[in-house]
Amino acid sequence: MRKGKIVSSFKEAVADIHDGATLIVGGFGLCGIPEQAILALRDQGTKNLTVVSNNCGVDDWGLGLLLANRQIKKMVSSYVGENKIFERQFLSGELEVELVPQGTLAERIRAGGAGIPGFYTATGVGTPIAEGKEHKEFDGRTYILERGIVGDFALVKAWKADTLGNLVFRKTARNFNPVAAMAGKITIAEVEEIVEAGVLNPDEIHTPGIYVQRVLLGTNYEKRIERRTVVQA
């Protein structure tokens, strides 16, 4: 059931994410990931997804659940070091991987959301990243052309939303989420609290509601620690 932008179930929110879709997913490690939307997508079983995200979760949580269910065809990401399933699928040829420097990935997503089809950057010049890309010189320095990224859908996690879809992110969960929200043709935001329009101070809004099509209230977030490090007493 839907009332404006507010959707009552995660199953309904992801129902039209089709086989072969491109998803842009917010989060950094396990911080600020749209974990309940990912669970709903796993249960739906959508296949052959291209997923654009900083990383691919861990073996048993986050986007790693979609990997384990063999729902991801291609990952566009900047870090893959915490996921053994990712490693196995990549080495076996099951998973296509496009590694992108982290700053370049963030700018490619931001550019896509801003309607900018491409930009030049010096990052990656002289490395395999630059192979097959247009090179151009500005002020005596060489740059490569990178394309903006637009997703069929974006999945993001915010702290608060109002009924118009305006989003507020909390602390480090404001990582890739704001740019991801901009770059989806349909953006689905799961949040920890929904308030009425007008309650949020305009100065605290990080993502305007014009970028957000669906808002859901999540519950019982686990807030897992990606890698626990302890010191011997």
Instruction: Evaluate whether residue 139 is within a structural domain.
Output: no
**pLDDT given at position 59:** 85
What tens digit of pLDDT does each residue of 98-156 get? Answer: 999 999 999 999 999 999 999 999 999 999 999 999 999 999 999 999 999 999 999 99
Residue 136 lies in a domain: no
Per residue in 142-192, pLDDT (tens digit) is 999 999 999 999 999 999 999 999 999 999 999 999 999 999 999 999 999
- Indicate whether 84 pLDDT > 90: no
Indicate whether 40 belongs to any domain: yes
- 130 domain-assigned: no
* Number of domains the chain is built from: 1
225 or 156: whose pLDDT is higher?
156
Residue 106, in any domain of the structure = yes
Q: For residue 89, what is the domain's CATH number? A: 3.40.1080.10
Mean pLDDT of 13-37: 96
pLDDT of 229 above 90: no
pLDDT at 45 over 80: yes
**For 30-51, what is the mean pLDDT?**
97
Q: What is the pLDDT of residues 49-74, one digit of tens each?
A: 999 999 998 888 999 999 999 999 99
* Residue 232: pLDDT over 90: no
| pLDDT at site 217 | 97
Quick one: average pLDDT of 40-57?
Answer: 96
Task: Check whether 87 has a pLDDT greater than 80.
Answer: yes
Q: Is residue 155 part of a domain?
A: yes
State pTM to two decimals: 0.93
The percentage of the chain sitting over the pLDDT mark of 90, rounded to a whole number, equals: 84
Confidence of residue 82 (pLDDT cuts 50, 70, 90): confident
Task: State which residues form the domain around 59.
Answer: 2-118+149-217
Would residue 66 count as lying in a domain?
A: yes
Q: Comparing 11-25, 40-54, 209-223, which segment has the lowest mean pLDDT?
A: 209-223
In a domain? residue 12: yes
What are the structure tokens assigned to 105, written together? 């990935």
